[in-house]
Amino acid sequence: MTIDVPRLQRDVAKLAFDPPNLRFAFYGRVSTEDNQDPEASKNWQITRANALIEPRGGLIVAQFFDIGMSRSLPWKRRPRASALLDALADPNRGFDAVVIGEPQRAFYGNQYGLTMPVFTHYGVQLWVPEVGGPIDPDSEAHDLIMSVFGGMSKGERSRVKIRVRTAMAAQAKIEGRFLGGRPPYGYRLTDAGPHPNPAKAADGKRLHKLEPDPATGPVVKRIFALYLSGLGIFTIAERLTRDGISSPSAADPGRNRHRTGEGWAKSAIKAILANPRYTGRQVWNKQRKDEVLLDVDDVALGYETRMRWNDADTWVWSDTVVHEPLVTVEDFEAARRIATQHGRDRKTRQRVRVRRAYTLRGLLLCGLCGRKMQGQYSHDAAYYRCRYPAEYALANHVQHPRNVYLREQDLLPLLDEWLAQAFAPQRVADTVRELHTAQPRQAVQVKPVEDDTAAVIAACDEKLARYRAIAEAGGDPATIAGWIAEVNAERAAALARRPAPKVETTKITRLSETDIERLTRTFDRVRDMIRRAEAETKGEVYRQLRLTLTYHPGNNEIRVEASPDPDSCGVLVRVRGSTQTDAQQGPRLVRTIPLA
């Protein structure tokens, strides 16, 4: 029998390069910018991937598909792409190679050059249709092809951005079209006819325009009239609050959940006086999106998008009046001149922002009003300040100093000392027992009723708690008693008309002592990091411990709550790479620390 040695060598080489029955993981991506159904996009990308691997006996056994992720984000910042990279390091990953349906959706700019070495390191092949099979990491041609697709992907995104912005500028200037977003205070949206695009019109989409709101439109006119008469923005805010006129956040609470709506703020008056759309013209391009490097020392981390204000000379104004004006152009320009005169001593219109490290950023609350205290440097020292505007106090019957200050250095040593003691080796057993005992046994969930009585009762309870805090801080007893009587009457009336709620009890899975002991595995490292860490890193440790601090100035003390959980504490030693986790109800440590 004669053996064809060359043919046998070719078959062996083919099997080594292209083994049968390869198990593949599929990766794809769809962005919200595509205006495409994610399921449809995923299906056609998988179809294209199967057309490449099925003739070779390949089978997709795992799928990694990112939805709503921009292609400009690096793989490590895309959830499913990051999970795929993590799976490569697992020898029991369950797949032998990775296939991509369209490289332009997967790679952007130089992302291929940053990602392919990871595949090569773990010996996992990467297949793409444009190469006709697996990418050869040693092939200059393959490297060039993939780099070209990354450049094409970046160019395509840039071209789309330019086309969209140019079209929107033309629509705002020539047509005066309302291009979306919330209507300014004083206006509401009304129908403006079918969409000019036949396809969108067939889908039922319509245009909108602004019309004066009967309730808030006269308020805007009043603000301009008061300002032009010589009153300042603080006096105007105080007068509107005293008259019981709803502020912008209170008039539309559904779209202003991040604001309290307690009263008129000076910033709201200032924004209204500077908004040119009250003259009846459409204005676009007041803001822009800038992509800023996350870390200039590590470009591979990519960019984050930030909103920036454009200069007034770059705004796009409609050529004609397109909706009913609330103020005349002359009054608007007069208001701008007054505002300019008030700031004539400023040497620049650009604020100089200085990034400073506040260890307790976002963790410290004011015990009088319940709001977060803001960081402020004074005399080269970090302070936390709660500035409660007088117009808010007027609207809520709150006795609150104009400013409440707390120096960071007065608190941090005491806080670190308590944490070090709580996590000390000799205290671990007591801390575990305290965490276990502090867990809630069950939660009662009340189904919402159709009327607003539940919201009224909740608001009354919040006010009563605030009044008690004011009383503890030394407020006037007679004044506070009157407030409490008024709120109790309102609460009783709401209770009288409230229907019986349907209550269902939800059982909470409590952590066992074994689960809580998992927390102690990193306690030693926590203590070491608290002692040695810089301010920014130490603040991240506090966040991972889920610290909440409430400052009570009347008693000069801090109430501290720590709610560590086993999952988040496991990443304490890699603070820069940790991710934000949702707050959960669980075991807590609570202490009240008196300040010196």
Helices 523-532 and 535-544: crossing angle in degrees, nearest 10, is 150
272, pLDDT greater than 50: yes
For residue 585, the model assigns a pLDDT of: 46
Q: Indicate the residue among 507, 527, 547 that finishes a domain.
A: 507
More confident residue, 467 or 29: 29
Task: Single out the residue in 489, 507, 525 at which a domain terminates.
Answer: 507
pLDDT at residue number 46: 92
- Say how far apart CA 542 and CA 538 lie, in whole Å: 6
**Looking at residue 508, what is its pLDDT?**
47
pTM of the model: 0.55
Closest CA to 183 of 219, 208, 164, 214: 208
Domain membership flag for residue 31: yes
Query: Distance from CA of residue 148 to its chain's centroid?
Result: 34
444 pLDDT exceeds 50? no
Cα separation of the two ends of the chain? 99
Whether 298 shows a pLDDT value over 50: the answer reads yes
Residue 587: per-residue pLDDT: 55
In whole angstroms, give the CA distance from residue 228 to residue 222: 10
pLDDT tens for 35-72 read 667 888 889 999 999 999 999 889 999 999 998 888 88
For the segment 109-121, the average pLDDT, to the nearest whole number, is 89
Residues 575, 492 within the same domain: no
* Residue 402 buriedness (CB in 10 A; 0-12 / 13-18 / 19+): exposed
Q: Quote the strand ranges of 390-457, DSSP E.
A: 403-407, 442-446
72 with 48, same domain?
A: yes
Among 329-338, 476-485, 505-514, which is the least confidently predicted range? 505-514
The two three-digit tokens of residue 398, written as one number:
């709150």
Same domain, residue pair 524 and 548: yes
Residue 80 lies in a domain: yes
Please check the confidence at residue 302 and state whether its pLDDT lies above 90.
no
Write down the pLDDT at residue 60: 92
Q: What is the pLDDT of residue 507?
A: 47
Question: What pLDDT, on the 0 to 100 scale, is given for residue 152?
Answer: 84
- Where among 472, 507, 542 does a domain terminate? 507
- Token digits for 93? 């990953």
- Between helix 233-242 and helix 217-228 the angle, nearest 10°, is 140
- Residue 585 domain flag: yes
Flag whether pLDDT at 442 surpasses 80.
no
Give me the pLDDT at residue 108, please: 87
406 with 516, same domain: the answer is yes
pLDDT(578) > 90:
no
> Comparing 385 with 201, which gets the higher pLDDT?
385
The average pLDDT across 467-474 equals 67
Tell me what pLDDT residue 88 has.
92
Same domain, 424 and 452: no
On the question of pLDDT at 17 being above 90, the answer is: no
Does residue 245 sit in the same domain as residue 263? yes
Please determine, for residue 569, whether its predicted confidence score (pLDDT) is greater than 50. Answer: no
pLDDT for the residue numbered 457: 75
* 197/263 same-domain check: yes
Phi and psi dihedrals of 373, rounded to 5?
Answer: -85, 140
Whose tokens are 């309870």? That residue is 461
Same domain, 133 and 211: no
Confidence band (pLDDT; 50, 70, 90) for 377?
confident
Residues 430 and 465 in one domain: no
Residue 533 has what pLDDT?
59
* pLDDT tops 70 at residue 379: yes
Confidence of residue 227 (pLDDT cuts 50, 70, 90): very high
Decide if pLDDT at 173 tops 50: yes
In a domain, 458, yes or no: yes
Q: Residues 75, 97: one domain?
A: yes
Q: Is residue 292 part of a domain?
A: no
CATH number of the domain to which 106 belongs: 3.40.50.1390
Q: What is the largest CA-CA distance in the chain?
A: 114
**Most confidently modeled range among 139-143, 218-222, 521-525:** 218-222
pLDDT (0 to 100) of residue 584: 42
Q: How far apart are CA 368 and CA 388, in angstroms?
A: 10
260 or 454, which is more confident?
454
Does residue 293 belong to any structural domain of this protein? no
Task: Judge if 32 and 108 occupy the same domain.
Answer: yes
Count of domains forming the chain: 4
- Average pLDDT (6-19) is 51
Domain with 589, as residue range(s), is 364-438+511-594
Does the pLDDT value for residue 485 go beyond 60?
yes
Q: What is the mean pLDDT of residues 135-161?
A: 85
Tokens encoding 47: 């179809």
- pLDDT value for 511: 53
Whether the Cβ atoms of residue 323 and residue 217 lie closer than 8 Å to each other: no
Q: Please name the residue ranges forming H helices in 171-206.
A: 198-202
- Between 261 and 228, whose confidence is greater? 228
Residue 201 located in a structural domain? yes
Give the CATH number for residue 254: 3.90.1750.20
Kindly state whether residue 501 falls inside one of the protein's structural domains. yes
